[in-house]
């Protein structure tokens, strides 16, 4: 496949992110990083940050930033030939070159940002200067669905949402009139996701074989609950909804869209002249906004200074607390060391006590042994004394008997001598 650029255009909240997911699944590349998602686009916005910033700068410079009523108005016709547009085109070529270099050889470059719809002539000119063909996928959604989604995200009124839908849809039809263009309706994804993916693949020349549709019905809704209050919006949506799936808008519709855009541009000139007379031009509003911003900066600076002073006080208190903590930790370490010494001494005394108790136990055992020996010795001595007494008694008895016997014997001895 030869190198090409696929521009995903259309109103915000109209399925542009879903279409980029589908192109990515089919093999197209974004050539670099993309913005992350949030609660309103959980799978990501699929937008290049530098491209969003580029468009926002141009809108702000022309007094048409998102959220301003002037965002609805087309850029003045003479702006497209101005030096500012030339500088913007040069910057855009650098962005495109970087993104093209970030793709694989032969891959299609797919880019998406709803604001691209408003600046599509710059993109077409830059792509032509680089010699790279461009196609456009126009994402459409029921105006009521867009209104409901913007109401949830930005608290935008139904009237403002419908006016934005009309401005972006007319810009897409008019600015992409000379490009190969295919309509991709969000309702068609709900009805037939596989068919929608196949139609995109056929239009872009990418292969759909083996690719599953990235469509997640729970993350989006189809038609809204409220019919458009603007009859022009209702009529345009009725005509767009009647085109066959995957078709190109017819020449008559594109011509009417261009005419309505030129009429809106003429009205914007008249509105600017009227605003200039009453001091309500975008420049005056910008001056007021700048003054409010300056006052806001001063207020924020004062708050910041107060916060810095508070931070200094907290830092000083923290240092004092840190010093007190260091003192406490030093005292705690000293107490811990003293406690360790005390515990060591107590353990030493406990061991000495155990040794003394053991010695005392041995002494008591020895004393009991000696007492037992003394008792036995006393008993033996008593027995000896008793025996000695008995022997003494026996001796006295024998002595007495002997003395008596001797006395009896003495007369006999005398008689015998005679």
**pLDDT, one tens digit for every residue, the chain (418 residues):** 568 999 999 999 999 999 999 999 999 999 999 888 777 677 778 899 999 999 999 999 998 999 888 888 888 889 999 999 999 999 999 999 999 999 998 899 999 999 999 999 999 999 999 999 999 999 999 999 999 999 888 888 888 999 999 999 999 999 999 999 999 999 999 999 999 999 999 999 999 998 998 877 665 654 555 667 778 899 999 999 998 988 888 888 888 888 777 766 656 555 555 555 555 555 556 666 667 777 777 888 888 888 888 888 888 888 888 888 888 888 889 988 988 898 898 898 999 889 988 888 898 888 888 888 888 888 888 888 888 888 888 888 888 888 888 888 776 565 555 5
Which SS3 state, helix, strand or coil, does residue 3 take? coil
Q: How many CA atoms lie within 13 A of 409 on its CB side?
A: 6
- Partnered with residue 138 across adjacent β-strands are 9, 183
How far is Cα 100 from Cα 29, in angstroms, rounded to an integer?
9
Name which of 130, 148, 182 is nearest 8 in CA terms: 182
Q: Could you tell me if 111 and 46 are in contact, meaning their C-beta atoms sit under 8 angstroms apart?
A: no
Which domains are assigned to the chain? 5-280 (3.40.50)
How far is Cα 182 from Cα 137, in angstroms, rounded to an integer?
5
Q: Could you tell me if 214 and 25 are in contact, meaning their C-beta atoms sit under 8 angstroms apart?
A: yes
Structure tokens that stand for 384 in this block: 């000896």
């Amino acid at each position: 496949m030869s190198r090409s650029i696929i521009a995903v255009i259309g109103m915000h909240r109209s399925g542009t992110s879903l279409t980029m997911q589908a192109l990515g699944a089919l093999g197209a590349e974004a050539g670099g990083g993309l913005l992350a998602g949030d609660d309103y686009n959980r799978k990501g916005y699929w937008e290049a940050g530098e491209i969003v910033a580029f468009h926002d700068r141009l809108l702000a410079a022309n007094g048409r930033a998102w959220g301003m009523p002037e965002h609805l108005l087309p850029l003045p016709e003479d702006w497209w030939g101005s030096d500012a547009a030339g500088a913007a085109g040069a910057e855009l070529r650098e962005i495109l070159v970087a993104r093209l270099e970030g793709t694989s050889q032969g891959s299609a470059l797919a880019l998406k940002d709803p604001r691209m719809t408003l600046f599509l002539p710059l993109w077409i000119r830059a792509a032509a200067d680089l010699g790279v063909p461009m196609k456009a996928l126009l994402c459409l959604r029921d105006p009521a669905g867009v209104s409901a989604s913007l109401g949830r995200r930005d608290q935008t009124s139904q009237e403002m949402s419908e006016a934005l839908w009309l401005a972006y849809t007319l810009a897409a039809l008019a600015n992409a009139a000379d490009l190969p263009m295919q309509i991709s309706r969000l309702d068609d994804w709900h009805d037939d996701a596989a068919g929608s993916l196949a139609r995109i693949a056929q239009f872009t020349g990418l292969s759909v074989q083996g690719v599953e549709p990235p469509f997640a019905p729970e993350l989006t809704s189809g038609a809204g609950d409220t019919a458009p209050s603007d009859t022009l919006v209702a009529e345009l949506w009725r005509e767009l909804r009647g085109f066959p799936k995957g078709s190109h808008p017819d020449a008559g519709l594109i011509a009417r869209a261009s005419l309505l855009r030129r009429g809106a541009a003429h009205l914007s000139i008249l509105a600017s002249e009227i605003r200039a007379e009453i001091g309500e031009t975008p420049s005056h509003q910008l001056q007021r906004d700048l003054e409010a911003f300056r006052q806001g900066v001063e207020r924020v600076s004062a708050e910041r200074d107060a916060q810095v002073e508070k931070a200094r006080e907290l830092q000083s208190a923290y240092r004092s607390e840190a010093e007190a903590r260091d003192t406490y930790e030093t005292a705690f370490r000293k107490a811990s060391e003293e406690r360790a010494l005390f515990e060591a001494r107590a353990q030493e005394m406990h061991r000495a006590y155990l040794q003394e108790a053991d010695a005392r136990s041995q002494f008591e055992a020895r004393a009991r042994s000696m007492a037992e020996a003394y008792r036995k010795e006393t008993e033996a001595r008593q027995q000896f004394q008793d025996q000695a007494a008995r022997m003494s008694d026996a001796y006295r008895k024998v002595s007495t008997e002997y003395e008596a016997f001797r006395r009896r014997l003495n007369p006999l001895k005398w008689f015998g001598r005679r």
